[in-house]
Structure 1
Amino acid sequence: MIARLGWRSGRMMWPATLLLSQCIVGVLHAQSAPGYTRNDYGEVGLMQTPTARMADEGELAFTASRTYPYTDYNLSLQPLPWIEGTFRYSSVSNRLYGPTGLSGHQSYKDKSIDLKLRLWDETRWRPAVAVGGRDIGGTGLFGSEYVVASKRFGPVDVTAGLAWGNMGSRGDIKSPLGWAWSGFDNRAGNTNQQGGEFNTLRYFRGPAAFIGGIEYQTPLDKLRIKVELDGNNYKHEGLGNVFRQRSPINVAALYRFNDNVDFSLGYERGDKIMATLTLHTNLARHAEPRKTDDPPPEPVRGLAATPDPPQGAAALPRKAPDQVDWDELSKALGANAGIDVSSIGRRGSELVVHGEPRAYFYPSRALGRASRILDNRVDQSIDWFTVAEENYGLPLDEQSIHRPRFIDALDHRIDMQELRRSAEQNAPGQQEEQTLYTKPPKRFDGGVSLGYQQSLGGPNAFVLYQFSLNGAATYRFNRNLWWDGVVSVNLLNNYDKFTYTAPSLLPRVRTDIRQYLTTSDVTMPNFQLTGTKVLAPDVFGMAYGGMLESMYAGVGGEVLYRPYGERWAFGVDMNWVRQRGFRQDFALRGYKTVTGNATLYYKTGFHDVTIAASVGRYLAKDYGVTLDISREFDNGVRMGAYATITNKSGTQTGEGSFDKGVYFSIPFDLLLPHSSRARANFMWEPLLRDGGARLYRRYTLYDMTSDRDSELFEKNLEKALD
């Protein structure tokens, strides 16, 4: 039973750990302290009790708490102002995970997912009200539902509500919903041994208990006091635990060290000490650090803001387009604007640079730097500069700026509002163009990096880890056809403890993961040939073949229709694959199948939420649907969750019942002192099972064309002046 944190298809997720460590030192930039604090379970709340409060949207928090015999590790996300999600590993220290021959003396581990929805916010006369569930999709060991209301009176925040299940096991009253339907009077069993299913037969059923409390902001800004009425009497805990509760009143003091670190110490059950540490940051408000490692933009001649004599290219005379040293200009664009130029063309008085942005996350920043470089070299016959963005040989869009107005903005003669009227974003290839310069692609590229991967929550050990040295190489035949591969060498791991292979009634398409991780110290996760092509206006195609991922080799293709300027796209992929040998070399095993999906992508326009719905055939020859919902903030941070349900029953799939996971993705640009277009990705999958398993494709057309309808340009146009 393996839960995976931070590893998928060879992508290393150590930056998530980097991000949390930055919380301790203030996360690069000071931020306003969140108004509300977290409870033992990582929810915004008191100690055992949630409140109706929500963190600011974009909040990410890691909470570790200890109250005998429970130690909880919680990751909480706030993707929308009224939705809070929490994902947890709980350790029950007085119970063993399993037989000592399998798990040694490891304590029992439980995984759970919580969800809280705010029904309405607080007004002058009305309290905030929220409804939620704890452990809604796991074994139900801590399964609870609740309705709470919170109202602030000066420094005191008061919460009151009702709880069912574990949180309300004191059972003060009969089911308050029994009048509507007698089925609410009784609650099904406390736990679900299968695990992973939504336990709807228990939601809001059975007796309920009153819960609530107060949180007091003391005159000391960093100190808060919490007092609560615990609805759990601890006589009906899972795993046969029964605890004495000397008092249902819990108390705690919370100290806020800085805007990103909270520590709580308290007393629960009348005789148990509680301690909680929370690291939190707001990803949506997270600003990029100063780019001290970036080269300065080229100075532009004649600006009042830069009175020093121009140097280098800025000091040379501007030339007509047919006299420009395009090779030198192309190198300058690569070094200073981060654009890998493929060609340069002219459309009347417009100069167009075609190429792939490699350095700058914000398109406007690349355009601004490129415009400085072009202005220093090209005469006044050109009055528009355009960067035609490409990716893997696919034209995506064009960002243009009016040269005179851009220079006026640099010299502070016009404001941003006027500059916005002189900048455009358009579909590619709208006009006839004279080619002035063509640059062949860089044939070979490669590098070496350190990698880290880990699995959490398995029976052999809570943390299984590996450090590796990874070598990657790419050879480009042309801009639309390339080969790439990865070789990974094990440096350090504890996989000698990894002896458990999960049971399965389906073809073992993923549950053989142990053999793939432990058979060889030198592996080749990827070795493939890939080609792309524009098939028609707004229609993109891709074909690939080779060792597609660590477990599968084969051939496949994808077609994507993504009309420019529209919120939707539709794609189809189809793949014939065969299982690879455990050593991850060129050997193949006997299992083979055809897998593929038809996917509809839709940007709702509601809080930048995107929905991707897929229908298709999965690796275990099962058929089903995958729903992925994500939110992307203005700074590029993305939060999301997915679930896959197929025609195979939960009994056939095994523990976990169906494939599901949560993720967030953070641009490196928000973490590093130099610009980057790469991302730090975090993926949490409670269990790795065979049902609903998808091929981990190295490339997807939707990701390749992600900048096609990007709003980053318009929303961040001011970065062109950086």
Structure 2
Amino acid sequence: MGQAGGGASQAQEPTGLNKLQHIRRRCTCLLPLAGWLMTCAVHAQSAPTQSDFGGAGLLQTPTARMADEGEVAFTASRTSPYTRYNFTLQPLPWLESAFRYLNIANVPYGIVPNSNSQSYKDKSIDVKVRLWPETHYLPAFSVGIRDLGGTGLFSSEYVVGNKRFGSMDASLGLAWGYMGNRGDIANPLDVLSDKFKIRPGGFSGTGGNFNTSHYFRGRPAFFGGISYQTAWQPLILKLEYEGNNYKHEPFKNNQPQRTPINVGAVYRLNRGVDLSLALERGRVAMFGFTLHTNLAESPGPTKLLDPPPPVRTQTPPTQTPQQVDWSAVSTELRSNAGIEVSKITRRGREVLVTGEQQRYFYPAKALGRTARVLDNQLGADIDWYTVVATREGMPIVATSVHRQRFDDLLDYNIDLSTFRRSVEQDTPLPQREEVLYRATPKKFDGGFSLGFSESLGGPDAFVLYQVSADYDANYHFTPNLWWSGGFSANLLNNYDKFKYDAPSNLPRVRTYVREYLTSSRITMPTFQLTTSRQLGTDLYGLAYAGMLESMYGGVGGEVLYRPMGERWAIGADVNWVKQRGFDQDFSFRQYHVATGQVTGYFNLGYKDVTLALSAGRYLAGDWGTTIDVSREFRNGVRMGAYATFTNVSAAQFGEGSFDKGIYISIPFDLMLPSSHVRSANIMWQPLLRDGGARLNKRYTLYDLTSDRDSDLFQDNLQQITE
């Protein structure tokens, strides 16, 4: 799940909409995630089995089946001479997507001299759409494309239906391209146009193009089979008839086939691990395994390391707000409710706590703990508790809970749906208030972490990696003005093997990654001064200067208009940056550029799908558009994909043709026995190139104002009692 062919893996911010973040943030994402996938697999038992190519299927062929939304699966399989590594996502109930690395053992990479020790690697993205589910009379029916925009070596299109008969699940489909190389029948689409009779040949050396002139062209072949659930629950048997005759393999690497019938078995070792064994082509063994789980349904582990929620006193307090020891209350709010308090005020019969959340990912959990802390201190003259959430000194949202209604919920006198009607979320507005307590601002915070970055599938080595020891720190001069920086010490690194310099017809704005990772053992990835402001009721601003990321320093600013309660926002950023020296110190190279984008964010109102559209100038001086589509589940997990198209031609861009990627964001809260405000973020980019490259900003206003989207609060309101 990294970038291949000369790029370092990068993480994204929690929203998933700003994908190109600093590469050394990945360690904290991958370590808990690896263990979690091995131990947690909610509802995974009913997930359909995966094919050799990834995605719900039999062996070499797909089925019309879909996993439950939120399912993810990693599959590795070996059928000589092919080894496939697949990652499959199910963001919507009718949409399956997958990306794949495929290794051809008997074909050299062949891009650069001395690369014969590396076998050829192919990268591809697949999509399958279910047109309708199975009914009593009709089979489930899906249409899909393999290698949607890749080299075309293994590209295929298909339609397939599935019908269940007791313990048997039968599939029947028609495939074009690689899966249909046998060419059983004339193309039924010939009636639409003679163009469908012939499938253009050839291999796209750069990859990344949408080969629409190939889709559903040429003679197709039938495929299908049966999956049989045995009486022994862990064992599933498979019988498959495939449409490929292996006489037209890429690179003329044709394979003998004794029979088009494949037989195999899947043993479900536990709720999250499948082991596969098959005999394919009548002569070749296939071995594989699948790790799968459902991210959307995971409740997360019990929070054994969290402080217990406050216990309400049996005797109601009688003291007035002026008699409360607010300094002690502030300390308890920080330790138990996770709020770094900046001030506590009173407005009539309402007490307001203003501060920034430092512990809890789910705002409702923090609100409930805040209400119980206040409940133990305040007399009957207070009816409302309000938390004014801030980020970097900017007020974001005010959330109010009615005291008696909350007590009724804790005492089981009302249900959650009734209580929900008494909770309010509003734009924080300046009003006349009595200040009960004002905290001394915390100036400095910092900490050590272990960093990891890697690159997959290049000609010099299949895995290039770096392990580093990192220290990050922040110093706040005021709540709205702060310095942030970090140092990184290289511990392990094999990028000295990286000889392939990724020739580019564009300015080398990203493909100097080897130089940046190997020139110095001690680096300074960031060193920047940032200021933030609320410019209006719904308008926010950010300005920054310094060493903004590993490769660029300069100055820039951003504004964002994000109305409270609306499902849209619009923002713009503009930056002047100069390429940093390879040592990542205070030196600069000659290249400089003005870059920035205007971005619109639109929640489509369907299953919390967000569309982000950006237009502007990128680091290489190219102009274009980025399209980002993501889906957030109720528990905060986000799955998404993006693509950037600029005025750079595919030939100028080089291998990959345009920038694209797939990403997942998973709250640490779902993986760890303690609450955590951040998320583990993983992004897969097929290639790191120079076209469509964006500045890796440390902060973005859309992320800083994420609490203005009330869906996460409302969807997890039950946590207010935890």
TM bin (shorter chain): over 0.9
Aligned partner of 1:333 in structure 2 is 333
Deviations 1:107-141 (A, max 9, x none): 11111111111111111111111111111211111
Give distance in 2, aligned partners of 1:45 and 1:631. 24
- The aligned amino acid for 1:325 is D
1:133-282 map, 5 Å: 133-282=145-294
Q: 1:509 to 1:129 in 2, by over 3 A?
A: same
Aligned partner of 1:527 in structure 2 is 527
Give distance in 1, aligned partners of 2:519 and 2:277. 46
1:259 offset after TM fit, Å? 1.4
1:189 offset after TM fit, Å? 1.6
Aligned partner of 2:606 in structure 1 is 606
For the residue of structure 2 that corresponds to 1:33, the secondary structure is: helix
Q: 1:3 to 1:164 in 2, by over 3 A?
A: farther
Contact 2:667–2:680 (CA<8 Å) still a contact in 1?
yes
Give distance in 2, aligned partners of 1:543 and 1:643. 27
In structure 1, runs of 5+ residues without a counterpart are 304-313
Does the alignment pair 1:120 with 2:124? no
Deviations 1:450-477 (A, max 9, x none): 1111111111111111111000111001
Aligned partner of 2:39 in structure 1 is 25
Aligned partner of 1:55 in structure 2 is 67
After alignment, is 434-443 or 1-10 more displaced? 1-10
Find 1:13's aligned residue among 26, 30, 52: 26
Give distance in 2, aligned partners of 1:669 and 1:488. 27
Q: 1:717 to 1:388 in 2, by over 3 A?
A: same
Deviations 1:656-680 (A, max 9, x none): 1111111000000000000011110
Give distance in 1, aligned partners of 2:707 and 2:653. 37
For the residue of structure 2 that corresponds to 1:22, the secondary structure is: helix
Does the alignment pair 1:2 with 2:14? no
Aligned partner of 1:82 in structure 2 is 94
Aligned partner of 1:476 in structure 2 is 476
1:18 offset after TM fit, Å? 3.6
Give distance in 1, aligned partners of 2:292 and 2:449. 29
Aligned partner of 2:414 in structure 1 is 414
Contact 2:52–2:59 (CA<8 Å) still a contact in 1?
yes
For the residue of structure 2 that corresponds to 1:367, the secondary structure is: helix
1:423 offset after TM fit, Å? 1.9
Question: CA RMSD for the aligned pairs?
Answer: 1.4
Aligned partner of 2:446 in structure 1 is 446
Q: 1:619 to 1:605 in 2, by over 3 A?
A: same
1:36 offset after TM fit, Å? 1.2
Contact 1:4–1:685 (CA<8 Å) still a contact in 2?
no
- The aligned amino acid for 2:74 is F
Contact 1:320–1:378 (CA<8 Å) still a contact in 2?
yes
Q: 1:469 to 1:103 in 2, by over 3 A?
A: same
Q: 1:527 to 1:279 in 2, by over 3 A?
A: same
Give distance in 1, aligned partners of 2:159 and 2:659. 29
Amino-acid identity (%): 57
Aligned partner of 2:17 in structure 1 is none
1:529 offset after TM fit, Å? 0.4
Contact 2:44–2:272 (CA<8 Å) still a contact in 1?
no
Deviations 1:424-461 (A, max 9, x none): 22221274322222113210111111111111111111
Contact 1:3–1:684 (CA<8 Å) still a contact in 2?
no
For the residue of structure 1 that corresponds to 2:254, the secondary structure is: coil
For the residue of structure 2 that corresponds to 1:370, the secondary structure is: helix
Contact 2:111–2:459 (CA<8 Å) still a contact in 1?
no
1:35 offset after TM fit, Å? 3.9
Give distance in 2, aligned partners of 1:103 and 1:71. 19
For the residue of structure 2 that corresponds to 1:707, the secondary structure is: helix
1:318 offset after TM fit, Å? 4.7
Aligned partner of 2:705 in structure 1 is 705
For the residue of structure 2 that corresponds to 1:373, the secondary structure is: helix
Does the alignment pair 1:569 with 2:569? yes
Aligned partner of 2:18 in structure 1 is none
For the residue of structure 2 that corresponds to 1:536, the secondary structure is: coil
Give distance in 2, aligned partners of 1:699 and 1:455. 25
Q: TM-score, normalised by structure 2?
A: 0.96
Aligned partner of 1:290 in structure 2 is 302
For the residue of structure 2 that corresponds to 1:514, the secondary structure is: helix
Give distance in 2, aligned partners of 1:17 and 1:278. 19
- The aligned amino acid for 2:26 is M
- The aligned amino acid for 2:585 is D
Give distance in 2, aligned partners of 1:410 and 1:119. 45
Q: 1:612 to 1:100 in 2, by over 3 A?
A: closer
Q: TM-score, normalised by structure 1?
A: 0.96
Give distance in 1, aligned partners of 2:34 and 2:256. 36
Contact 2:8–2:513 (CA<8 Å) still a contact in 1?
no
Q: 1:90 to 1:340 in 2, by over 3 A?
A: same
- The aligned amino acid for 1:611 is L
Aligned partner of 1:653 in structure 2 is 653
For the residue of structure 1 that corresponds to 2:683, the secondary structure is: strand
In structure 2, runs of 5+ residues without a counterpart are 12-20
Aligned partner of 1:309 in structure 2 is none
Aligned partner of 2:15 in structure 1 is none
Aligned partner of 1:366 in structure 2 is 366
Contact 1:253–1:265 (CA<8 Å) still a contact in 2?
yes
1:16 offset after TM fit, Å? 3.6
Deviations 1:588-626 (A, max 9, x none): 011111000000100011111000000100111110000
Give distance in 2, aligned partners of 1:37 and 1:3. 32
For the residue of structure 2 that corresponds to 1:418, the secondary structure is: helix
Aligned partner of 1:308 in structure 2 is none
Aligned partner of 1:513 in structure 2 is 513
- The aligned amino acid for 1:2 is G
Give distance in 2, aligned partners of 1:552 and 1:100. 29
1:32 offset after TM fit, Å? 5.0
Q: 1:718 to 1:134 in 2, by over 3 A?
A: same
- The aligned amino acid for 1:559 is V
- The aligned amino acid for 1:648 is V
- The aligned amino acid for 2:33 is L
1:493-512 map, 5 Å: 493-512=493-512
Contact 1:190–1:238 (CA<8 Å) still a contact in 2?
no
Deviations 1:605-660 (A, max 9, x none): 11110000001001111100000000000000000000000011111111111111
Aligned partner of 2:686 in structure 1 is 686
Q: 1:32 to 1:141 in 2, by over 3 A?
A: closer
Contact 2:9–2:23 (CA<8 Å) still a contact in 1?
no
Q: 1:199 to 1:99 in 2, by over 3 A?
A: closer
For the residue of structure 2 that corresponds to 1:330, the secondary structure is: helix
1:568-647 map, 5 Å: 568-647=568-647
- The aligned amino acid for 2:110 is G
For the residue of structure 2 that corresponds to 1:695, the secondary structure is: coil
Aligned partner of 2:85 in structure 1 is 73
Aligned partner of 1:355 in structure 2 is 355
Tell me how many residue pairs correspond in the alignment.
708
1:218 offset after TM fit, Å? 0.9
For the residue of structure 2 that corresponds to 1:178, the secondary structure is: helix
For the residue of structure 2 that corresponds to 1:23, the secondary structure is: helix
1:20 offset after TM fit, Å? 3.9
After alignment, is 565-574 or 378-387 more displaced? 378-387
For the residue of structure 2 that corresponds to 1:288, the secondary structure is: coil
For the residue of structure 2 that corresponds to 1:571, the secondary structure is: strand
1:537-556 map, 5 Å: 537-556=537-556
For the residue of structure 1 that corresponds to 2:706, the secondary structure is: coil
